[in-house]
Amino acid sequence: MVCYEAPEWAQLQSHFHALQGDFDLQRAFAQDAQRLARLSQAAPYVFADLSKNWIQADTETLLGQLAQTCQVAAQRDAMLAGQPINGTEGRAVMHWLLRTPADGGLLREHPVTQDWDGSMRQALSDVHGSLEAMLQLAEQLRANAQITDVVNIGIGGSHLGPEVVVQALEDWVDTGKNFHFVSNVDGHELGHVLRKVKPESTLFLIASKSFTTAETMLNAHSARTWFLAHGGSADAQATCSIDRHFVALTTNTEAAAQFGISRTLGFWDWVGGRFSLWSAIGLPIAIAIGALQFRRMLDGAHAMDAHFFTAAHAQNLPVRLGLLDVWNRNFCGFGSRCVAPYSHGLRRLTAYLQQLEMESNGKRATRAGQPLAVPTSPVVWGEPGTNGQHAFFQMLHQGPDVIPVEFIALRDGGKYLGAHHQSLVINAIAQAQALMVGRSGQGVARDCPGNRPSTFLLLDALEPASLGALIALYEHRIFVSGAVWGINSFDQWGVELGKQLAQGLRERQRSHDWQGVDPSTVALMQRLAASPVNGN
């Protein structure tokens, strides 16, 4: 049965129709003194206030019943049991195992982990073997004063996670090294980095789960060509050798060896690309913040994992947020969600969440291959505050579309300019308040309708453990909405089409055979060939 055929779906629709037109956030607070207590909660490292959403306690009850019918808990347990829940690729989904302590940690007593067979126990032991090796290498590289620049070449999950974390934990980056993240195949990105570095003091990390992604491979080849042209050597005995200055982070160790990289850190096909920052893909993070802080990040994520895998639905933050996402998308009809981190450190978080959520849940078929008749992933977008306030918040306050906003803020702003931090967070709180209360009595042009929904996530501080917990919270929340929709949140077949067509066009460009290609595409390709940029 697909989710929208469940009787609970129809009940939620009726519930929405009953609320619609009459639901007013301010009145809801006035009528229910317990509203804030009921609709907010503390989870590991994160306090969440859901009370400014178009929900009531009975909305959550109905959503909980839908989750039960959709067997969200059973799907979650199947993930914990290591079952191949990524059906189209025949893979288990076990990124959470990467942050599970060797003895099972907070999950050690869980009935599912008690039943783990030998292969799961072996997987956990392999995880720790690889983690030790990765952290050892990270410490060696950190201590190597000759290396002043670390250049991570990767894209998607092999780029966004490490970039977000290294930026976010800037105050923990104590190696005196510069970190560069190159992802775009636009040569300007790599070119600008290579202009600033020298082969003898640069470490290149070639990060690609598949080691076949076209953009990463082209950037990696160009980096190697530059390295060899500027005094680097392919001779393993040389001091400035590819052996010493390139490391591959991949599950495809064979392809890395063919590329000529002997130092490879591997991981497993059960780690999805967008969930991989906890694996060898996290090497740049470990070099930046060191083994101890990397482990703290894993511990924070593990605390959130344990919360997700054990807490009852009603007090399980990833479950509540995932169900709120379903409510907003399918019943309120909101097509997008704005994420506004009020933190300079988290300035790239929204880009990371775009891949996490839209690549995971941007699907239109169930796991059984049935077309879904209801929308799935919303468009996730946003910018850090307060910048967003001076750009698109106008539309959020007065535009005809209602767009839920998710504020992320920190109680303690860290070591710089405390007065700035107060101003920053007060702005976030005031925006959430303004969206709710609006303004009236000043004429249509100036009035703000108010009653606009928002969620507020508050971390004590931006540090490795809280950041790990925050990211794990998003991973699990996306799992929950995907589980309700009955989709496979762990494949990404849509991305393949563009890759294949780009390859086809590269071949046709060489053969000049345009037969069967649509006129618009041919005309654009011919303009490209005639472009003055090419000197033709």
Among 69, 210, 233, 427, binds ligand F6P (CB under 6 A): 210
Active site residue 209: no
| CB closer to ligand F6P out of 171 and 269 | 269
| CB closer to ligand F6P out of 53 and 208 | 208
Kindly state whether residue 284 participates in binding ligand F6P, applying the rule CB under 6 A: no
Q: Which helix (H) or strand (E) holds 246?
A: strand 246-250
Q: Least separation, in Å, of the C-beta of 499 and ligand F6P? A: 8
Report the distance separating Cα 83 and Cα 76, nearest Å: 10
Active site residue 359: yes
Interface characters, 220-259, with ligand F6P (x: CB under 6 A): ----------------------------------------
User: What strand order describes the sheet that includes 264-266?
Assistant: 178-182, 149-153, 202-207, 246-250, 264-266
State the distance between the two ends of the chain, measured CA to CA, in whole angstroms. 59
As beta bridge partners, residue 152 has 181, 205
Q: Least separation, in Å, of the C-beta of 210 and ligand F6P? A: 3
> Total binding residues for ligand F6P by CB under 6 A?
14
Kindly state whether residue 183 participates in binding ligand F6P, applying the rule CB under 6 A: no
Catalytic residue among 215, 357, 359, 463: 359
Kindly state whether residue 213 participates in binding ligand F6P, applying the rule CB under 6 A: yes
Kindly state whether residue 208 participates in binding ligand F6P, applying the rule CB under 6 A: yes
| CB closer to ligand F6P out of 160 and 410 | 160
Residues 145-164 close enough to bind ligand F6P by CB under 6 A: 155-158
Enter the DSSP assignment of 250: E
Pairing state between β 40-43 and 46-49: antiparallel
Report the distance separating Cα 528 and Cα 506, nearest Å: 12
Kindly state whether residue 455 participates in binding ligand F6P, applying the rule CB under 6 A: no
Helix ranges restricted to H, 39-179: 57-69, 72-80, 111-114, 118-143, 160-168
Q: Least separation, in Å, of the C-beta of 377 and ligand F6P? A: 14
Q: Which of 19, 7, 54 is nearest to 35 (CA)?
A: 54
Radius of gyration of the chain (CA): 25
Kindly state whether residue 214 participates in binding ligand F6P, applying the rule CB under 6 A: no
Helix count and strand count (H, E) for the chain = 21, 11
Instruction: Transcribe 272-301 into DSSP letters.
Output: -GGG-TTTGGGHHHHHHHHHHHHHHHHHHH
Residues 264-283 close enough to bind ligand F6P by CB under 6 A: 273-274
Report the distance separating Cα 205 and Cα 152, nearest Å: 5
Kindly state whether residue 492 participates in binding ligand F6P, applying the rule CB under 6 A: yes
Active site residue 139: no
Instruction: Please identify every residue annotated as catalytic.
Output: 359, 390, 499
| Residues forming the site for ligand F6P (CB under 6 A) | 155-158, 208-210, 213, 216, 273-274, 359, 492, 495
